[in-house]
Amino acid sequence: MGPSSAGTGPENGTGFRVLTYNIRAMRDSRKALVRVIAACGPDVVCLQEAPRLLFWRTRRRSLMRATGLVPAVNRRACGLAVLVRPGVGVRAARHVLLTRRRGLHRRAVSMALLEVAGERVAVASTHLDLEESARCDHAREALEHLRRFAGGTPRILAGDINGTPGGEAWRIITAELSDAGAAAPYGEAATFTARRPRRRIDAVFTGPGVRVAASGVPVGEVGRADMEAATDHRPVVADLHHPR
């Protein structure tokens, strides 16, 4: 774990780390991808653009074996997954397709009710559209699905927003959830592209009952060469706590 690990990590039951990562269907360097994920040391991983075409199960399994992670939600549709380290409890899981837009890629939200660091939390992974109207509508849908799924459990939404802070989709999300990277910046902010990072389009958002210790691109923990080789996005981590 990163900056929150000293005395506050999962080992004492209060802290945990979420990683969100668009892995471009593992079309780049698999070895670099594994090293990036391992260096981040996550408890929970929200993936976007996980393999979903030929041999998708085999390719995802190979990534899980190499990183030591296990699936909480691992559905083919829309290339989403939520993975966890062994020992994180998976109490419920759901994968929901969002409203179809003609001519655009189908979108979804993958959600898992987890027991991590001694408490329950609902974690969701999503990948919003490039087209603004669809992106905004799907942001609202994803929030509603997560709200219903979580009930009163603290919520975390992570993913590739395909919009930047100040954009309409970002405003829709942050009207309900907090932007972890704005609350407690860590490392660097820009996530795209990996080679020339200029835009912040990937993020972790948290609801009431989750405290943010740090969130951002962990450049002090992960080699730049590996980040550039692994995929076209950079990883975003969030070190989170359950308030006591």
Residue 97: domain span: 15-241
Residue 7 lies in a domain: no
Residue 6 lies in a domain: no
Residue 1 lies in a domain: no
Q: What is the CATH number of the domain that holds 157?
A: 3.60.10.10
pTM for the complete prediction? 0.94
Residue 5 lies in a domain: no
**End-to-end CA separation in angstroms for the chain:** 20
Residue 210 lies in a domain: yes
Residue 126 lies in a domain: yes
pLDDT averaged over every residue in the chain: 94
pLDDT, tens only, 42-67: 999 999 999 999 899 999 999 999 99
Which tokens in the block code for residue 24?
A: 């471009």
pLDDT, tens only, 139-170: 999 999 999 999 999 999 999 999 999 999 99
pLDDT, tens only, 20-39: 999 999 999 999 999 999 99
DSSP strands (E only) in 142-230: 155-160, 178-179, 202-206, 211-216
Q: Total structural domains in the chain?
A: 1
Look at residue 3 and tell me whether its pLDDT is greater than 90. no
Which residues lie below 8 Å from residue 45, measured CB to CB, with a gap of 6+? 18, 19, 20, 21, 37, 67, 69, 81, 82, 83, 84
**What percent of the chain clears pLDDT 70, i.e. is strictly above it?**
94
Residue 2 lies in a domain: no
Residue 35 lies in a domain: yes
